[in-house]
Amino acid sequence: MNPDLQDLKAKALALHERLCAVYGCPIPYFHTLDPLSELISSLLSHRTRNADSGRAFKALRVRYADWRALMHAPTDEVEATIQGVTWPDQKAPRLQAVLHAIEERHGSLSLDFLKDMPVEEARAWLESIPGIGPKTSAAVLSFSVLRKAALPVDSHHHRVAQRTGLIPLSAAVGPSHAALAALLPEEWDAQQVYDHHEVMMLHGQRCCFFKNPACHRCAVLDLCPTGQGRVEGRRVSPVRPDAVPDDLRSSRSRER
């Protein structure tokens, strides 16, 4: 194995174990949606606050009897229903186009068949549909009742990975999915992969902020070259998990 890759894998595992001690693994799944519903939810959530995309998802379920009704509804009606998400004028036709593509390619409006596919094959099938990228394909497989070992990478997860040196600062979110997944142990099950995404994301939300990260109370400061650079002149040492403030530890709730 490449020594550099071996070091990165060791760091990824150390980050995982340290952050799990802070945020509490295993982390309960926040959804029990079928994969097609999870796809709708994920497409709505792009660049949108969880609370806003959650309200839009619930509004669609109230207005339409099923996703076929959404697929055939007037597009301007769908757009009005999902007001509150970013770019509803783009997301409404995209939702309908994706649903049409699934029915045309699979022969029915369902993604349940993905349960019998290996993760990479299932992701490739999803990503062959315009409008579905690596984050969405991973979210469908991981967050839905399929519970597959696919690693989503959102902006918070991505930021923590960059700052800790798991990926280069120049790495874009899309390509980072494969790079970060390659650092995880091959024997990990779906829960462990999900936990890894969750703790990296939670750390980005609650400590490793986009602006003014709270490096002074970071539990992985000694593993983070960016944080060490920010606190130069201070003694660099990790914060013990039992010393992390309660508000940082509290479990996240996602509205869907």
pLDDT at 38 over 80: yes
- Write down the pLDDT at residue 50: 86
- pLDDT higher at 163 or 240: 163
pLDDT confidence of 230, banded at 50, 70, 90? confident
Average pLDDT over residues 27-49: 94
Domain ranges of the chain: 3-27+152-249, 35-143
Average pLDDT value for the chain: 91
Tell me how far CA of residue 112 lies from CA of 19, 35, 62, 191, 207, in angstroms: 33, 7, 23, 20, 37
Average pLDDT over residues 189-208: 97
DSSP codes, 4-21: HHHHHHHHHHHHHHHHHH
* 103-114 exposure pattern, b = at least 16 Cβ within 10 A, e = fewer: eeeeeeeebeeb
Average pLDDT over residues 163-170: 96
- pLDDT higher at 203 or 48: 203
pLDDT at 26 over 90: yes
3-27+152-249 to CATH, choices 3.30.750.24, 1.25.40.10, 1.10.1670.10, 3.90.550.10: 1.10.1670.10
**What is the chain's Cα-based Rg?**
19
pLDDT at 198 over 90: yes
Tell me how far CA of residue 213 lies from CA of 162, 202, 204, 216, 221, in angstroms: 13, 13, 9, 9, 11
- The domain defined by 35-143 folds into Endonuclease III; domain 1 (1.10.340)
pLDDT confidence of 231, banded at 50, 70, 90? confident
